[in-house]
Amino acid sequence: MSSRKPLGRKIRLLKALKSNRRVPAWIMIRTNRRFTRHPKVRHWRRSKLKKS
C-alpha cells in the first residue's frame, strides 16, 4: 500500500482488507457446515469498494 494517501482512506482500506477473510473452520464445525461462505467476501478485481 502506498504511503501517500489520507489517513482516513488508509484506515478504511485496512478495515476492508481485514474483513475480507473466509469463515473460520471452528464456526463451520460448530454450525454443521451451515455457514461455509462469507457473504461479504470481496475480490479485488470483481467488486470494488465505495470511493469515498
Quote the pLDDT of residue 3.
84
pLDDT tens-digit readout, 1-52: 678 999 999 999 999 999 999 999 999 999 998 988 888 899 999 999 987 6
Domains of the chain: 1-52 (1.10.1620.10)
Rounded to two decimals, what is the model's pTM?
A: 0.68
**Residue type present at position 10:** K
- From 18, 21, 9, select the one nearest 51 (Cα to Cα): 9
Give how far the C-alpha of residue 29 lies from the chain's centroid of Cα atoms, to the nearest Å: 21
